[in-house]
Structure formats: structure tokens, C-alpha cells
């Protein structure tokens, strides 16, 4: 553990506490404008999708690091099949399992 790490995680913890406590502590001091409440609704899908993209299109999974490159990156294929599994089941575990199995298969089939 480095000081830099502690600094980042500590600040992230303070920010999280600040956001969670914002109104529980300060409700007498301020209210949220309605346009901001509307915008907040769109934050989760926007941030999550923006986060997913680099993890799917950049970097090598552990498989590639251990056994070498293949012609077609298996990550986007696995992500698409995981999304299909989500739409079919609407459940987390089958989505994760399908994604991981697809990753392994999409890699091994190219060896």
C-alpha cells in the first residue's frame, strides 16, 4: 500500500460520504433544482457505458498475457454474448457466467 493509494481511496471515501450525507446533513440549507434531478437520472447509464468501452476494447485479458495473442480480440465477442444472456434472463449471475465462458471459448477456438 502506498501513500498515493491511501490518498486516492481516502478522498474517494470522503467524496462518497459527502454525496451520501449531502441532504441527510444539509437539507435545511439547500434543495435540488428539477433539471438537475432529471440529469442525474441519466448519469448511471452514461458513466457505466463509458467505463465498459475501454475495458472491452483496450488491454489484454489474463488469458492473452499467459498464452499469447489471437487474431480476433475475444473480449467484444464475450461482451455481446453476455448482453444477449442478460436480455434472455434479466439476471446477474447467468450474465457473468455467459460472459466468462464466451471469453474462454472465443480465445481457445482461435488457438
Partner 1 sequence: MRAMLPFLPGIVPFGVVTGFTPISFGFTWIDSWLGSLLMFAGAAQLAAYQLMNEDASIWIILLTVTAINLRYVLYSASIAPHLADANRLTRLLAGYGLSDQIYPICHRDYRTHEWGLEERIAYYTGGTLLLWGLWQACTLIGAFAGQIIPVFWSLEFIIPLTFLTLALQTLKTMAHRVTAISGALVSFVGLELPYSLGLILGAISGVCFGALYQRAIR
CA 46 to chain centre: 11
Binding mask 51-90 for partner 1 (x = CB under 8 A): xxxxxxxxx-xxx-xxx-------x--xx--xx--xx---
Taking CB under 8 A as the rule, does residue 110 contact partner 1? no
33 touching partner 1, by CB under 8 A: no
Count of residues near partner 1 by CB under 8 A: 67
Q: Which is nearer to partner 1, 67 or 72 (CB)?
A: 67
The three cell numbers locating residue 42: 441519466
If binding is defined by CB under 8 A, does position 32 make contact with partner 1? yes
Q: Which three cell numbers stand for residue 97?
A: 457466467
Name which of 30 and 71 has its Cβ closer to partner 1: 30
Pairwise CA distance, residues 33 & 91, whole Å = 35
Written as one string, the DSSP assignment of 25-41 is HHTTT----HHHHHHHH
Q: What is the CA radius of gyration of the chain?
A: 20
Provide the CB-side half-sphere exposure for 65 (13 A, CA). 4
Judged by the rule CB under 8 A, the positions of this chain that interact with partner 1 are 1, 5-13, 15-17, 19-25, 27, 31-32, 37-59, 61-63, 65-67, 75, 78-79, 82-83, 86-87, 92-93, 95-96, 99-100, 103-104
Amino acid at each position: 500500500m502506498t501513500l498515493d493509494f491511501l490518498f486516492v481511496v481516502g478522498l474517494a471515501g470522503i467524496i462518497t460520504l459527502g454525496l451520501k450525507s449531502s441532504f441527510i446533513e444539509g437539507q435545511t440549507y439547500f434543495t435540488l433544482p428539477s433539471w438537475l434531478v432529471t440529469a442525474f437520472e441519466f448519469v448511471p447509464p452514461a458513466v457505466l457505458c463509458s467505463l465498459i468501452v475501454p475495458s472491452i476494447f483496450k488491454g489484454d485479458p489474463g488469458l492473452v498475457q499467459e498464452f499469447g495473442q489471437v487474431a480476433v480480440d475475444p473480449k467484444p465477442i464475450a461482451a455481446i454474448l453476455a448482453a444477449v444472456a442478460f436480455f434472455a434472463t434479466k439476471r446477474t449471475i447467468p450474465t457473468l457466467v455467459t460472459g466468462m465462458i464466451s471469453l474462454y471459448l472465443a480465445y481457445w477456438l482461435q488457438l
